[in-house]
């Protein structure tokens, strides 16, 4: 018997059980609002019953965004950048290996997909960028299903904050000059960054 049927049966017996003692319309419908509200509210069943039902993808700028849906209403989000552009059909191919499986094994699923396609570009590039987005979405679902932050599932939190650098996007300038480097660096500092990055190899 499904979780929904169990809830309905229990609430009906508990809320309308007294209806047998009276013929009043009020008594007969007492508790129905609670039953209806419960039915409208998504309820997660046991994690062991969780299954992937769909894998969707969208693109914005240079980013790829993955949405993984499940049979319990839980949704996972993942992102891939750079090489993930135009990977629509690669996502669809990977989705065939995910739908119907439990999303609570992100490491196993990612490894199966990668090892199963080692001669189809699985070492780097678009394949890895796409798989990264899918794996992130699987981790997102896993954390939501278990009610735990992902860092805890991956071994625990080592620090409360992390220093980040700013990619100055100097590659947007054609044949950048020293002044371009200085301007890009100053812009990053003005935005609050204390570390910056230049792609020197692209400036030649």
Q: What is the pLDDT of residue 72?
A: 92
Residue 101 contacts residue 109 (beta carbons within 8 Å):
yes
- Is the pLDDT reported for residue 138 higher than 60? yes
pTM of the model: 0.66
Residue 113 contacts residue 94 (beta carbons within 8 Å):
yes
Q: What is the pLDDT of residue 44?
A: 54
- Is the pLDDT reported for residue 19 higher than 50? no
Please give the residue that has the higher pLDDT: either 79 or 197. Answer: 79
Q: What is the pLDDT of residue 123?
A: 77
Which pLDDT band holds residue 164 (cuts at 50, 70, 90)? Answer: very high
The Cα angle at residue 109 between residues 103 and 110, in degrees rounded to 5:
120
Q: What is the pLDDT of residue 37?
A: 60
Strand 63-70 and strand 75-81: the pairing is antiparallel
Q: What are the structure tokens assigned to 151, written together?
A: 């860092």
Q: What are the structure tokens assigned to 31, written together?
A: 């508790």
Q: What are the structure tokens assigned to 92, written together?
A: 């669809």
Q: Give me the mean pLDDT over the 79-93 stretch.
A: 88
- Is the pLDDT reported for residue 25 higher than 60? no
- Is the pLDDT reported for residue 76 higher than 60? yes
Q: Give me the mean pLDDT over the 124-148 stretch.
A: 92
The Cα angle at residue 99 between residues 96 and 101, in degrees rounded to 5:
125
Residue linked to tokens 């570009």: 121
Question: Cβ atoms within 10 A of the Cβ of 180, count?
Answer: 17
Residue 55 contacts residue 95 (beta carbons within 8 Å):
yes
- Is the pLDDT reported for residue 155 higher than 70? yes
Q: What is the pLDDT of residue 142?
A: 93
Taking only the tens place, the pLDDT of each residue in 28-67 is: 555 666 666 656 655 556 788 899 999 999 998 878 999 9
Please give the residue that has the higher pLDDT: either 105 or 24. Answer: 105
- Distance CA(152)–CA(85), nearest Å, equals 31
pLDDT > 70 fraction of the chain, expressed in percent and rounded: 74
Strand 52-60 and strand 63-70: the pairing is antiparallel
Q: What are the structure tokens assigned to 169, written together?
A: 């996007």
The closest alpha carbon to 54, from 72, 41, 39, 40, belongs to: 72
Q: Which of 77-86, 94-103, 149-158, 193-202 has the highest mean pLDDT?
A: 94-103
């Amino acid at each position: 018997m499904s979780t929904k049927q169990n809830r309905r049966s229990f609430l009906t017996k508990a809320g309308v059980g007294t209806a047998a003692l009276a013929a009043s319309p009020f008594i007969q419908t007492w508790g129905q609002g609670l039953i209806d509200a419960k039915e409208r509210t998504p309820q997660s069943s046991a994690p062991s019953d969780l299954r992937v039902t769909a894998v969707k993808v969208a693109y914005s700028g240079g980013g790829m965004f993955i949405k993984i849906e499940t049979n319990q209403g839980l949704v996972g989000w993942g992102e891939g950048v750079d090489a993930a552009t135009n990977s629509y059909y690669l996502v669809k191919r990977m989705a065939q290996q995910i739908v119907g499986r439990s999303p609570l094994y992100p490491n196993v699923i990612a490894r199966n997909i990668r090892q199963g396609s080692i001669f189809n570009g699985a070492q780097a590039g678009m394949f890895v960028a796409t798989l990264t987005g899918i794996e992130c979405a699987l981790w997102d679902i896993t954390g939501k299903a278990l009610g735990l932050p992902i860092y805890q599932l991956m071994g625990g939190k080592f620090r409360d904050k992390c220093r980040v650098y700013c990619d100055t996007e100097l590659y947007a300038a054609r044949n950048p000059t020293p002044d371009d480097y200085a301007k890009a660096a100053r812009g990053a500092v003005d935005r609050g960054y204390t570390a910056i990055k230049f792609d020197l190899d692209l400036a030649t």
